[in-house]
């Protein structure tokens, strides 16, 4: 893409992309082995399985290990009953508005969710302790143009609106999420997305920076895998990240608070509550340790993990 040639980290990015291409190659090789063996006896299959597993394990060894940092860029008072199905309507908490910086080898910086900044939203929500998401990542010495990828969990304003603050990033969204909400001209098909964010999505697409995530359990970046089924919106996604401490899971609004897990109840705002609850059960199986789950808006994220700066914790 043209934006790479202007990036001071272009060399490192090219090496990273070459590694990704090798990764895609081995993925294709595994699929070919699977296709070639579909008609063979189980004994023959076993022999080939071993070599296929060999690819898998060497791939796992090579998967980069990331450092994961949750950053609170604002807080907003919110009714718990709008987060947890069946909660007492009198309960209220200051929810954390969160972006997650995923720092990888070779200077690769991936952002999970992009926050919000447009004046309409600032006026409507009046966030407290607000820091614009691009300034929030600057705490790490990361400039907006240093973000290589932005993974968007879903198209709601508080997760997607800031995507255009990062001018050189690929922006990853599920295909079904895009097609359900925005038409080919950037018009709104479903009011879960605002008109200005639908236009922004179209602008990012026109600039060649929209990266399509295609469905469930897809490793879109080496060591970073996206999953569907959370059904907060039509095709919201959550991700796992390979770290030195094991597999970390970033749930976003597919699990708003730790209370969802503790009480085994779905989120209040879901297009499919049964699917949401099943996704939460699956999340617990995907992580190395249940404590490595980062929920979408729980202020407890910032007390459960070690603080590295005010409003910033390292997920470990």
Residues lying near Zn ion in the complex (CB under 5 A) are found at 158, 253
C-beta atoms surrounding 18 within 10 Å: 10
C-beta of 253 vs 298, nearer to Zn ion? 253
| In the complex, least distance from residue 269 CB atom to Zn ion, rounded to whole angstroms | 9
How many angstroms separate the most distant Cα atoms in the chain? 66
C-beta of 158 vs 164, nearer to Zn ion? 158
| In the complex, least distance from residue 137 CB atom to Zn ion, rounded to whole angstroms | 18
C-beta of 161 vs 253, nearer to Zn ion? 253
Nearest to 68 by CA among 299, 298, 293: 293
How far apart are alpha carbons 152 and 142 in whole angstroms? 19
C-beta of 104 vs 266, nearer to Zn ion? 266
| In the complex, least distance from residue 295 CB atom to Zn ion, rounded to whole angstroms | 10
Token couple for 279 = 């996704």
- ∠ Cα 65 240 281 (to 5°): 145
| In the complex, least distance from residue 153 CB atom to Zn ion, rounded to whole angstroms | 8
C-beta of 55 vs 78, nearer to Zn ion? 78
| In the complex, least distance from residue 296 CB atom to Zn ion, rounded to whole angstroms | 5
């Amino acid at each position: 893409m043209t934006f790479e040639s202007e990036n001071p980290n272009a060399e490192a990015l090219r090496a990273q992309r070459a590694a990704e291409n090798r990764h895609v190659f081995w993925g294709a090789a595994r699929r070919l082995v699977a296709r070639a063996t579909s008609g063979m006896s189980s004994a023959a299959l076993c022999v080939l399985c071993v070599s296929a597993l060999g690819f898998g394990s060497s791939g796992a060894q090579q998967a980069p290990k990331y450092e994961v940092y949750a950053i609170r860029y604002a807080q907003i008072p919110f009714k718990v009953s709008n987060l947890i199905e069946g909660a007492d309507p009198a309960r209220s908490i200051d929810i954390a508005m969160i972006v997650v910086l995923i720092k990888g080898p070779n200077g690769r910086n991936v952002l999970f969710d992009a926050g919000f900044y447009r004046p309409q939203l600032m006026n409507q929500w009046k966030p407290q302790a607000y820091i614009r998401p691009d300034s929030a990542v600057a705490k790490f010495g990361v400039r907006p143009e240093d973000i290589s990828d932005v993974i968007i969990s879903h198209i709601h304003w508080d997760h997607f609106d800031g995507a255009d603050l990062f001018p050189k990033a690929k922006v990853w969204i599920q295909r079904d999420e895009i097609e359900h909400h925005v038409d080919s001209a950037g018009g709104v098909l479903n009011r879960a997305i605002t008109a200005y964010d639908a236009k922004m999505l179209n602008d990012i697409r026109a600039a060649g920076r929209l990266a399509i995530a295609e469905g469930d359990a897809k490793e879109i970046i080496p060591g970073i895998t996206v999953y569907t089924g959370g059904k907060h919106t039509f095709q919201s996604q959550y991700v796992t990240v390979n770290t030195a401490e094991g597999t970390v899971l970033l749930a976003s609004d597919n699990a708003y608070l730790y209370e969802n897990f503790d009480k085994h109840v779905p989120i209040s705002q879901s297009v499919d509550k049964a699917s949401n609850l099943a996704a939460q059960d699956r999340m617990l199986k995907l992580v190395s340790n249940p404590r490595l789950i980062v929920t979408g808006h729980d202020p407890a994220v910032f007390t459960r993990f070690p603080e590295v700066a005010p409003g910033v914790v390292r997920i470990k």
